[in-house]
Structure 1
Amino acid sequence: MLSLTLSLIDGFIYWNVSPVMFRIPGTSVLLSWYGLMWALGLVISRQVGLYIFLKEDRYTVNLPNLFLMIVIPAIVGARLGHFLFYDLHVLIRDPLVIIRPPFHGLSSHGGVLGILIGVYIWCRRNHAEYLFVIDRLALVAISAGACIRFGNLMNSEIVGVPTDVPWAFIFARVDQLPRHPAQLYECIFYTVFFLSMLYMWYMYARDWRSGVMLGMILTVLWTFRFVVESFKENQSAFESDLSLNMGQILSIPYILTGVALILLRKSITEIKT
């Protein structure tokens, strides 16, 4: 049964959505919004990625294996990254927590690292150009990010800091304070950014040097992440003692890598001979 309470209180949006979408009758099996959005993100990114590689007619032979080399490293990296970056003391005290359900706590920074490593292994095995492949996968990964952040919104997690802006949400499952809907900010941005980059790929990317699109995505996406982190509550107590929170610190290497890729590749178009 879907449980949703959405109304206005003192001019703010009162958000009291159950994380459980529904329970299968006669069983204890629950379908969560978060799980559904993760699955939807994977399906969308897989289908868009398949379309892109088939359209360009490159590296189409082992595409199913490439999908596996994205999904598994992404989940492992996201899970491990959460504990390394935010809850290292928990991992040290109980290493098995990383494989013990429920699997709450996933770091997008760790997930990206997992994808980069997994795709590198696939490219080595299939003699594929790494930057070309990762260019296209970086594009489709944005759509998965949009779905996951919507799942975070439905879970009332990764909430923003208190505010009095008219579009503030009161996350009833957290407290009664009006807060920035930081998850929604990210979901909307990722959706618009994904569609924009898909258009850029369709119109121009086949004339770009490999790595330029990845550089653009890293620079724009993680700059936005750096900014939006200032609207979020810290995920761990130790972040209160830092000048920048952990999300901002982890975003900086991605931004610098993106800028470096654009500068190193220099010309946007291939030199025609």
Structure 2
Amino acid sequence: MLNELYHSLNPVAISIGSLHIYWYALAYLAGFVLTGIVIYRVSRRWGLDITGDEVANIIVAMAWGIIIGARLFYVLFYGDGYYFANPLKIFALNEGGMSFHGGLVGAIVGGSLMCRSCHLSIPTVCDLGVIGAPLGLFFGRCANFVNGELWGKPTDLPWGVVFETGGNVARHPSQLYEAILEGLVIFSVLWMMSRRRPAHPQGTFMGTFLVLYGVFRFLIEFVRVPDAQLGYLLGPITMGQLLSLPLVLLGIVVLAWATRAKRPQIGHVG
């Protein structure tokens, strides 16, 4: 039957002797590269004087920020005390455990520090960055699906998938729901918005991204099984939902500021 699709994907993309390259690592790499391409192309469309070298520097800074922030937030909000009892495990990135919300904060901090060094407008670079970021989310969630992790609740829908680690029951492929909504849908919306000339004011893209991601993530969490070590926190509410609500509120504030201030997109400052 269609609702008995079995997950049998190998998380290892390439093996060369004892060297294993995982799809998850390739997903991160693809996300960073494509985000850099999007930043450069949109900045050209907007007539900004941001060079290819500056874009590369921003991507490297954002990458470090994402890795550090995503791991730090996971340790603090999802670790449930495990990492405080086993501090060396904080550095065991090969065992998994990354938080999108922390990655977002890390990307903003890392990118902002590089912007200050290059004398680039932080709000404009944030707007440029979130246009490409959903592509990274798309590949990342697809990698979650390949790994057979972060699956959803049991379902009798025809596209339910039986995951090896999820018991002998068809489950929502919530990773793919997130890949589509948080990845492709948000990217499509922001990409179409970026084609307007003159460009939307500073903050418009960041605000839109925060609202859409927060709403989509909050809704998908209802069909996604929460982390085993945390479970549900407040009735049916999960940690992912608690961390997503502030994003929606912050996005609304940023959009209100963008509408009121109407600051044009610029490249270099000072």
- Shorter-chain TM-score above 0.5: yes
Instruction: Choose which of 236, 254, 258 in structure 1 pairs with 2:251.
Output: 258
| Structure 1 Cα separation of the partners of residues 43 and 63 of structure 2 | 17
Q: Which moved more, 1:97-106 or 1:261-270?
A: 261-270
Give unmatched runs, 5+ long, in structure 2: 265-270
Instruction: Choose which of 176, 181, 196 in structure 2 pairs with 1:184.
Output: 176
Note the alpha carbon deviations across 1:193-228, whole angstroms, 9 max, x for none. 212311210125x43210011111111121111111
Instruction: Choose which of 10, 17, 36 in structure 2 pairs with 1:46.
Output: 36
Note the alpha carbon deviations across 1:85-115, whole angstroms, 9 max, x for none. 1004122112221212424111001100101
| Structure 1 Cα separation of the partners of residues 130 and 65 of structure 2 | 14
| Structure 1 Cα separation of the partners of residues 116 and 187 of structure 2 | 27
Secondary structure (helix, strand or coil) at the match of 2:81 reads helix
Instruction: Choose which of 33, 55, 58 in structure 1 pairs with 2:23.
Output: 33
Instruction: Name the CA shift for 1:187/1:207 in 2 (closer, same or farther; >3 Å).
Output: same
Instruction: Name the CA shift for 1:13/1:208 in 2 (closer, same or farther; >3 Å).
Output: same
Number of equivalences: 260
| Structure 1 Cα separation of the partners of residues 249 and 161 of structure 2 | 33
Instruction: Name the CA shift for 1:83/1:199 in 2 (closer, same or farther; >3 Å).
Output: same
Secondary structure (helix, strand or coil) at the match of 2:230 reads helix
Say whether 1:201 aligns with 2:194: yes
Does the 8 Å CA contact 2:66/2:103 hold for their aligned counterparts? yes
Does the 8 Å CA contact 1:135/1:210 hold for their aligned counterparts? yes
Secondary structure (helix, strand or coil) at the match of 2:7 reads strand
| Structure 2 Cα separation of the partners of residues 81 and 10 of structure 1 | 38
What is the match of residue 154 of structure 2? 162
**TM-fit CA distance, 1:15:** 1.4
Larger relative contact order (Cα-Cα within 8 Å, sequence gap ≥ 6): 2
Secondary structure (helix, strand or coil) at the match of 1:235 reads coil
Secondary structure (helix, strand or coil) at the match of 1:96 reads helix
What is the match of residue 73 of structure 1? 65
Instruction: Name the CA shift for 1:103/1:139 in 2 (closer, same or farther; >3 Å).
Output: farther
What is the match of residue 50 of structure 2? 59
Instruction: Name the CA shift for 1:89/1:238 in 2 (closer, same or farther; >3 Å).
Output: same
Q: Which moved more, 1:131-140 or 1:35-44?
A: 35-44
Q: How does 1:54-203 map to 2 (within 5 A)?
A: 54-55=44-45, 56-60=47-51, 62-189=54-181, 190-203=183-196
| Structure 1 Cα separation of the partners of residues 210 and 175 of structure 2 | 19
Per the normalisation by structure 2, the TM-score is 0.89
| Percent of residue pairs bearing the same amino acid type | 29
Instruction: Name the CA shift for 1:39/1:270 in 2 (closer, same or farther; >3 Å).
Output: closer
Per the normalisation by structure 1, the TM-score is 0.88
| Structure 1 Cα separation of the partners of residues 171 and 186 of structure 2 | 24
